[in-house]
A and B are shown apart, each in its own frame.
Chain A
Amino acid sequence: MTSISISQRARSKEAAAWFQWRTIGPILGRVLHYAVLIWASMFFLFPLAWMIGTSLKSIEEIGQPQLNLLPAVPRWENYVKLLSEESFYRAYLNSAFIVTMVLLGTITSVSLVAFAFSRLEWKGRDVVFALMMGTLMLPYQATLVPQYVMFHHLGWIRTFQPITIPGFFAGGAALVFLLRQFMLGIPKELDEAAMIDGANPLQIWWHIIMPLSRPAVATISVFLFVGQWNNLLQPLIYLQKPELYTMPIYVAQKNNLQESPIPWQDIMAASVLFVIPLLIVFIFTQRFFIESVTLTGTKR
């Protein structure tokens, strides 16, 4: 008799427990947590959404103050108009060209230098490496002005050279450092075995280290791509000629055309097309960004 009543009480307690704070608290907390996360995400995503929405509006819809994210009828004509502009193509192609050149030059030279700092042992290595790490402290302004004078004397103003050529000299100590850290983790026995087989360091670099460093190379490629695709300052300084405009200047100067009302739908359409490669790269490689920060503790 008593035993039954105890078990019954236990069962009723179990049922009642659902309403108890201890059980419902975490669930509620979790729901609240998600709500806050979603609300914050809206704040972070909104400018992007507003950009896309505006790019599909008509100039009349832009003119009247309203809060509709999307227009009643999406106007794809905005994009058609943009795609028929020669200057747009040219800017896109210029950007793609510069990014390719920078990636090619920088990746090759950076991987060579990182190889020297991680896989080779030579007298003076530590001094040179310390020197390189020291340049990390220098802000970009340190050499911006004199480089301009130098490129001016070389006749490189209004050409692509000032932006693409410095990359061939292993520009970016942070990139070298990142790659070096990765290369240090590759087992030493691999090189030693190759060395015994009579391979020289150049062959080791190309046949052994580079294939194994693919993840790190991909990481720095992504950084370089994002940095270069967004690069506004240097093109502004060096590419002051409409034929040479890259996408960032093309988009930025659309804003400076003193038209009234401001054709926001055109500006935003160009912006959307500008952002798409970034978005694609970021969505597939966001892991790299998050890992690299936790790895090196540095921005970019």
Chain B
Amino acid sequence: MAAAYRLQNIWWAIGTVIFIIVTSVALGHAARSVAKWRGLSQAEQRKVYWGFMFAGPWIVGFFIFVVGPALASLYYSFTDYKLGEPMDWVGLANYRQFLLGEGAHGRRFTQAMFNSFYYALVGVPLQIVAALGMAMLLNKEMPGIRIFRMIFYLPVILAGGPAILLAWRYMLATNGGFINITLQNFAHSFVLFDYVYRAFIYVVESFNGFYIGLTRGDPIGPLKYTLPAILAVLFIAPAASGDWSHNKKIAARRGAEIIGLIAFFYLASKGLVLDPIDPAWILFGGLIVTLGILVSAHNGRYVAVRTWQYASLSAFGLSLLLTAARPDAAELAGQLIALGAVVALVAGSFLGGWSRTKMVAFGAVAVLLAIGLFVHLIPGQLDGGRLGIIPAYLSFGSTIEHPDDLEYLKEIYPQDTMSAMWFYGLAAAVLFGAVLLDGKHPRARKYLLYGGLIFFALIALSSLLDGIAYFRAFEEIAAAEGKPVYHFSMFRNAIEEFPDSDRLPMWMGSELWSKPALVLITMWSSGSGMLIFLAALKGVPRELYEAAEVDGANAVQKFFKITLPMISPAMFYNVVIGIIAALQTFDTIYILQNTQTESSLRSAAYFLFTRTFRELAIGQGAAVSWILVIITVTLTVFQFRYSSWVYYEA
């Protein structure tokens, strides 16, 4: 039977070769005709002919296998196409479903994106550490090092296919699997190891329980602000504490990035506002645009002013159109008017030159917008009562005063907690101060920065304490909020008791352990990252180390002050590649999943596979693939754009 298929395939291959030859020659002739028509010399025509003929296979394939399908896929993504059923235009419904997580499939996709995010957040750093460790071990001229290099790389070759993944699946079996038996033996061998083993289980289960609760949209109380706040500190601190004085351009770009980060984390803490008409968006967008225009006009860069104007006009106009087309537009009249006012403001800036009065007027508008944003984001914050929270927080006092009082927890508590805006407002203030003091008062600037960061950390810590109080009363709160199914109960169970030594990591038997298992396997096969690090390490000039040794630097200092900055481009590259790979993980999940852990393992690519090729929903699959393409291409462009920047900053 199979032989017939092979024979058929050979005939098709021969047919394809003939097709390629014919089309390539035709392409060559066509190109020559065009060259002749454009009046190129005889020799040039000949060259064009041969060139297009040789490149013909790729050009023809590009149209058949890339351009054509991509266009078709774009079309399908706006339809409800299912193989064998008539196709109907559904507009943006597919995208809406997936981006907003509506319906059963939307939720599945959201879950997949959260899983991929986990692989990026937890897996990629661990992978980087593993790869860098491996590379540093191998970056030494010793006899036999080539053999080790080969062994370290071998998993990459093997992990591409199902065989070794099956071996991993077997090794990861909960009862009687090699890994669990080894871990148990390790734990029983020495008292201290027993505690290490139990602490390991405790940490993994709590962390994953928490992540699961987070991804399923359970009420999270104060953590809604704590988490983005901690992330913001982690991201902003290194950016803010760098040297700001030596290059205005870099400083400006970094400032913009910090503002962007603050905005992003703020919106994340608000549950990422998706509505284009949300007042927060209008005010925030208006503020950014006004500031952008003002700064550019102040510096006399009118080209930049124009760019700001055009870009923001199109963005706001689009937002206006989208909202006006909504069935409930009448209810949003007030916000539509606000949006219209912003559009009018930007449009008005086209008129006349940039006089001093106009700039002052724009500055006044910016101040008004900032006040509006501030007041909008913290309802009732001007009544003075909320200011008392700050000392309570800074002294680690909890604002949850009546954890048993459901009424309090449900109605008052969400309003009474430390608002995120304090946080980010403060971040902006610190940043502003840092820029103002730049150069003139380095010491004051330093104190301001570190003081601000300490302040952040204090608030983050105390809202973490609040979070713990919240979780003690969690089930009541969840019930009071009308969410009977809560996944944070896993987290609560995990933190409530320290596991005893008989407990086993469940690996593929539980959603608490399935993702760590996958991360372990990706760490095992991080050899390609290792090769990139190895190449980067070999490129670090020896003289730098020698100079540092003369100055009396120790190994740790040398690593952090020389090695790490010098290999930052490779690091950056590996991080971006790792994130892309986190979206595209497929083989590992296909082999390792079972019915219990499928939903907790599923990556974006795996969801695409099941939705398209198992359930044959082509239209929705096409929409998912376009979402993935946009994310991946953005990341890649980002990588190309910023890889040089990382290097120069180093």
Contacts and interface: CB of A to CB of B under 8 A. Distances in A.
B37 interface: no
Most buried by B among A229, A274, A275, A299: A299
Interface in A89-103: 90, 93-94, 97, 101
A148 B53 CA distance: 28
Contacts of B60: 169
A137 interface: yes
A233 interface: yes
A237 B152 CA distance: 32
Contacts of B325: none
A40 B148 CA distance: 9
Interface in A63-103: 63-67, 90, 93-94, 97, 101
A278 B161 contact: yes
Interface stretch (B64-72, B257-265, B280-288, B296-304): B64-72
Contact of A113 (B58, B162, B168): B58
Nearest to A49: B167
Contact of A149 (B76, B166, B586, B587): B76
Q: What is the predominant secondary structure among interface residues of chain A facing chain B?
A: helix
B40 A54 contact: no
B42 interface: no
B1 A142 contact: no
A101 B13 contact: yes
Interface in A237-279: 237, 243-244, 248, 251-252, 255, 264, 267-268, 270-272, 274-275, 278
A244 B632 CA distance: 33
A46 B340 CA distance: 65
Contacts of B161: 229-230, 232, 248, 251, 274-275, 278
B170 A166 contact: no
A236 B609 CA distance: 10
Nearest to A169: B61
A122 B32 CA distance: 11
A278 B140 contact: no
Contacts of B150: 282-283, 286
Interface in A127-186: 128, 131-132, 135, 137-150, 152, 159-161, 164-166, 168-171, 176
A170 B61 contact: yes
A293 B535 contact: yes
A146 B622 contact: yes
A268 B590 CA distance: 17
A147 B166 contact: no
A43 interface: yes
Interface stretch (A1-9, A10-18, A30-38, A212-220): A30-38
A137 B628 CA distance: 12
A66 to B, nearest CB: 8
Contacts of A147: 65, 69
A6 to B, nearest CB: 31
Interface residues of A, number: 104
A227 interface: yes
B594 to A, nearest CB: 10
A148 B2 contact: no
B528 to A, nearest CB: 5
A243 B154 contact: no
Contact of B154 (A44, A244, A267): A44
B183 to A, nearest CB: 12
Interface stretch (B44-52, B355-363, B478-486, B558-566): B44-52
Interface in B151-172: 151-158, 160-164, 166-171
A255 B169 contact: yes
B57 A168 contact: yes
B613 A237 contact: yes
B187 interface: no
A282 B154 contact: yes
B54 A115 contact: yes
A166 B65 CA distance: 7
Interface stretch (B4-12, B417-425, B439-447, B456-464): B4-12
B628 A67 contact: no
A196 interface: no
Contacts of B138: 37
B588 to A, nearest CB: 10
Contact of A128 (B59, B164, B181, B590): B59
Contacts of A201: 50, 54
B434 interface: no
B167 A67 contact: no
A171 B60 CA distance: 11
A105 B13 contact: yes
A187 interface: no
B417 to A, nearest CB: 41
A10 to B, nearest CB: 28
Given A65-B175, A205-B54, A232-B162, A36 B137 contact: yes
Given A65-B176, A161-B12, A47 B182 contact: no
B398 to A, nearest CB: 45
B642 interface: no
Given A48-B167, A271-B166, A226 B83 contact: no
A233 to B, nearest CB: 6
B629 A117 contact: no
Contacts of B226: none
B573 interface: yes
Nearest to A105: B13
Nearest to B147: A41
A133 to B, nearest CB: 11
Interface string B1-41: 11001101110110011001000000000010001000010
A120 B51 contact: yes
Contacts of B591: 252, 255
Interface in B457-479: none
A275 B163 contact: yes
Contacts of A170: 57-58, 61
19 contacts: A40-B137, A41-B152, A44-B154, A45-B154, A94-B6, A97-B6, A101-B9, A123-B48, A132-B58, A132-B62, A139-B628, A148-B612, A164-B9, A170-B61, A230-B157, A268-B170, A286-B150, A290-B149, A290-B153
Given A37-B138, A268-B167, 6 more contacts: A105-B16, A116-B52, A141-B632, A169-B57, A267-B166, A282-B150
Interface of B: 1-2, 5-6, 8-10, 12-13, 16-17, 20, 31, 35, 40, 44, 47-48, 50-62, 64-66, 68-70, 72-73, 76, 83, 134, 137-138, 140, 142, 148-158, 160-164, 166-171, 175-176, 178, 181-182, 185, 524, 528, 531-532, 534-535, 573, 577, 580, 583-584, 586-587, 590-591, 605, 608-609, 612-613, 618, 621-622, 624-626, 628-629, 632-633, 636-637
7 closest residue pairs by CB, A with B: A169-B61, A122-B51, A65-B176, A116-B54, A230-B161, A271-B163, A146-B69
